[in-house]
Chain A
Amino acid sequence: MKKHILKISALIMILAMIGLGLPYPYAQAAALTSTSVSMSTLASDTAANYIVQFTTPTGVAAAGTIILTFPGGTDVNAGDDLLDFTDVDLEDDGVDLVLAAVASGATWGCGVTETAITFTSGTGTIAAGSVVTIEVGTNASSGDKQMVNQTTTENKADRTLDITGTFGDTGSINIYVNPAEADVTVSATVDPTLSMALTGTTPNLGTLDTNGADLDAGVAGNQIPGTKITVSTNADDGIDITVKDLALGLNDGANNIDDVNVVPGTWASQSNNEAFGIMATETGAKWDAGNNYVTDDESKTYWDLTTTASDALIYDGAGVESAKEIYAGFNAQITATTVAGSYTDTVTFVATATF
């Protein structure tokens, strides 16, 4: 029984030690400290010696690796696989470690590729807390070749030197060549705008006759009532204005006056039929204070009004508009058989901006 108690007590102690974080023999990855990189010249696309230094909290165990991965575009091996371990020094707390192409015993392997240098331990180790210094180029004890710095454009895209490896510690250092560049993408939004205002929303055609308004050219006082449409938009492809009405057209209950029968057509072409139609113009020179369009032009084209707006396009814009005015006039005529009454219609203008 006493034995069991002792065993359980020992187990509890061990678990407690682990819980308290007391030392036990497993490597722990950590962030490298005191990381730095210096170059003999910062000039872009220029040969340079490099010194990379860091403190490893964990150290490197036997068979461990330390990998320096330089930012893209850095020519680590001087272009043609020329730079090798003889151009590299690896120091542990200021003491040179022996390097060769491949690790063997206490000799560390040092492999150089286009963008990386990998150190591989054979049996050698680096103690936790050691300062590791790596010199690459003619600053190494036997070095006679140099790395080549990134171009400015390459450096802008990637300026991080990463330090990794199986030893577990990691770190990164930014490298800046000279000149150094950085981009900022500036953006802004311009919201779409569209406005439409009507002036003269109750045009009265008065008492109709068989000719409609007298539109003979040159006759003073000729006019038709109308509506002025004012539109604004910042639409890239401008604004269209169409028009439609209710199903019955100009009507008095079940009775109605027919739409223009020649579509589109001049008023003169409506002959002696019932006709109700709309014309439009972009010039307001003949627009009076009473919202009448004074016209002396019988060649103006009239459209019929249907319940579908797309049938009658009275303005086709092509770009931004700032307080653009379009003038629409209404005309109607009857025949001897048109039923007496008070006729009305609700006309709807539709402004469509294309952004």
Chain B
Amino acid sequence: MARNLICSFIILAFLCVGTSTLAYVMSSTNYRIQSDSLNIGGLRQASTNYRMEDTIGEMATDESTSTNYKLVAGFMAKFPPYLSFTVSTDSLNLGTLSSSEVTIKNHTITTTTNAESGYTTNIKDDGNLRDGSNDIDNVADGVVTAGNEEYGVATSDSGVDIVTNSGNNASALSQSGQSIALNSEPVFDGEITTVYYKASISTNNTKAGSYSHIVTFTCTANF
């Protein structure tokens, strides 16, 4: 009797280990299984008037909440899609540009989403930093150099189109979107990306004036 009990316990333990191993994101070149579980049944059913997917045999399913969390447990449990995208300011003044140093200013963008494949944020502008027909040239060599008329942006993120911030390096903006922040996983606690703006002017060759342009960030959650 005792031996049977021990054997049952060991088998149960293996099943638990096996279940936890299976409940993991699996992917190959051709597929990605975001979540799975080991149950005793389940089926997609349909008729003229309805369609239903169900599972049978899951343990410890239900909704539970506390002050700090909300849990919806179970294979079929789904939270509604969520996206929050905030920019720390809607205006950024670089101040008076100088030919003797590179002006650098920054702001942050914060993204939270439960999208399974994370998010991608692109940046674009509505034209060069300009004052009427006069403009500040976009950086062309990847680095904003004091004394040269150059303007560009860098990001705290990596693996994106816009260069990762270091020193005075910068990427030129365009009216086509370029990625500036991304994550391939859900982001639940607000991922902060810092956007750096860098500019310098050429003595006497950059015309006096008040320059501006609009930079647009587009965040796409990948559900």
Contact = CB atoms under 8 A, between A and B. Distances in A.
B221 A178 contact: yes
A91 to B, nearest CB: 15
Contacts of A41: 81
A182 B86 contact: yes
Interface in A34-53: 38-42, 51
Interface residues of B, number: 48
Nearest to A181: B218
A38 B72 CA distance: 15
Chain A binding surface SS class: strand
A121 interface: no
Interface stretch (B3-11, B33-41, B159-167, B203-211): B203-211
Given A40-B80, A189-B211, A232-B204, A182 B216 contact: yes
B42 interface: no
Interface in B58-103: 79-87, 89-97, 103
Interface residues of A, number: 35
B107 A178 contact: no
Contacts of B210: 187-189
Tell me which of A174, A176, A184, A355 has the highest count of chain B C-beta atoms within 10 A of its own C-beta. Answer: A184
Given A174-B84, A187-B210, A234 B96 contact: no
Contacts of B95: 188-189
A190 B83 contact: no
Given A178-B220, A185-B214, A186-B92, A38 B204 contact: no
A185 to B, nearest CB: 5
B143 interface: no
Given A38-B80, A186-B212, A188-B93, A193 B218 contact: no
A235 interface: yes
A283 B93 CA distance: 42
A188 B212 contact: yes
A179 B119 CA distance: 10
Interface of B: 79-87, 89-97, 103, 107, 109, 129, 131, 134, 136, 197, 199, 201, 203-221, 223
11 contacts: A174-B84, A176-B83, A177-B83, A184-B89, A186-B197, A186-B215, A188-B95, A188-B103, A189-B95, A189-B209, A189-B210
Interface of A: 38-42, 51, 152, 174, 176-193, 232-236, 320-322, 355
